[in-house]
Structure 1
């Protein structure tokens, strides 16, 4: 079984190929963060399962916002995949490649971005039927040069680099035709969110959108 393109998500990435990560343990804060990102022009978010209340935060964003595509990140097991999907997740992101989690999502036509960092992992993902994978941790795994090498071999694979992406190198990754989007936490700095400074989140989002627009032009 080969993954089917999710048109809504694909169109969102064509508009703005950036996926900010939200880590929160308070649904109210999670909603405010998502709204600030949306105000800055970002309409896809990944809520990472790194706090005890992460699933509640994700569900709150799903139910209390409009026009935002909400995914769950740091999904490690089939049970977690089932849980987040039952609570409204529209796509799943994993730090690594686990066959059973990938197959669970493929069987349900749920977009999954499974983490890969080597040619062997990308080939395994390809054999499972995945055509879009996460490249993680992008900077430590070799960055743009490594992605260029992988893209030359796996010509119909697309990648979502995450890990070490910042405003400084975002344009380099987005200039690559094989990159569908970039994920990162630089858009949601913990200190600003702890202080309730959501204006900073919106400003960073706007800056990233501008960089993304220029980066895509450079790649054409």
Structure 2
């Protein structure tokens, strides 16, 4: 239930957009920088329309819908064309909605008990969120012993200067971060700046 669509990047840019018109140039900037995945959260008005626009354009980028909080969010994300979904947490109802929608889903966890609960629902790829506040890399290492068949996408508080350290952990599948496409660069339409940050993050990931 956590099989993700195929994409190469081990870094997942997490973005919030105000208008659908921002989605395509943003995705093109990430692709120019060598990143073929994006998590568009549903926190702002442009989220769902932006996902739908990228689905319509069929750009070679894997589009995840973030901040899925309930079954309605899951259904709307799937209808918009998201190829996978992510949440800051997990409930049985949310997991069931993702299953019914045939949407690959990465639930969020913060504690070993939450990891075990998600694992019992069939999820073994989890979003550690908020990663820094949950204990950071030390928490990831602590979970590796008793929870050996679970892998994580740490998100929240991950920075460019800590990216390599996260990715070196054997149970770190990928890393999510907002620094690659920050809100101020999106607002200014600084797509070249975002492409540069994507290249830098990709270079770190490839050499780690």
| Band of TM-score, shorter chain | over 0.9
Q: Which runs of 4+ in 1 moved over 4 A?
A: none
Matched, 1:62 2:60: no
Matched, 1:40 2:38: no
State the secondary structure of the residue aligned to 2:153: strand
Q: CA RMSD in A?
A: 1.3
Aligned residue pair count:
208
CA contact under 8 A between 1:95 and 1:136: conserved in structure 2? yes
Q: Distance in 1 between matches of 2:102 and 2:71?
A: 15
* Structure 1 residues 55 and 108: alpha-carbon distance in aligned structure 2, compared to 1, 3 A threshold: closer
CA contact under 8 A between 2:109 and 2:115: conserved in structure 1? yes
Q: Distance in 2 between matches of 1:158 and 1:71?
A: 18
Q: 2:3 aligns with which of 2, 5, 16?
A: 5
| Structure 1 unpaired stretches of 5+ | 216-220
Give 2:44's aligned residue.
Answer: 51
TM-score, length-scaled by structure 1: 0.90
- Aligned runs of 1:75-90 on 2, under 5 Å? 75-90=68-83
* Structure 1 residues 103 and 204: alpha-carbon distance in aligned structure 2, compared to 1, 3 A threshold: same
CA contact under 8 A between 2:14 and 2:177: conserved in structure 1? yes
Matched, 1:155 2:153: no
Q: Distance in 1 between matches of 2:182 and 2:103?
A: 29
Q: Distance in 2 between matches of 1:176 and 1:107?
A: 33
Q: Distance in 2 between matches of 1:193 and 1:141?
A: 28
| Structure 2 unpaired stretches of 5+ | none
- Aligned runs of 1:97-176 on 2, under 5 Å? 97-176=90-169
Q: Distance in 1 between matches of 2:2 and 2:44?
A: 31
Q: Distance in 1 between matches of 2:2 and 2:178?
A: 27
CA shift, 1:4, in A, is 5.7
Q: Distance in 1 between matches of 2:68 and 2:21?
A: 22
CA shift, 1:19, in A, is 0.7
CA contact under 8 A between 2:19 and 2:45: conserved in structure 1? no
CA shift, 1:28, in A, is 1.4
* Structure 1 residues 56 and 108: alpha-carbon distance in aligned structure 2, compared to 1, 3 A threshold: closer
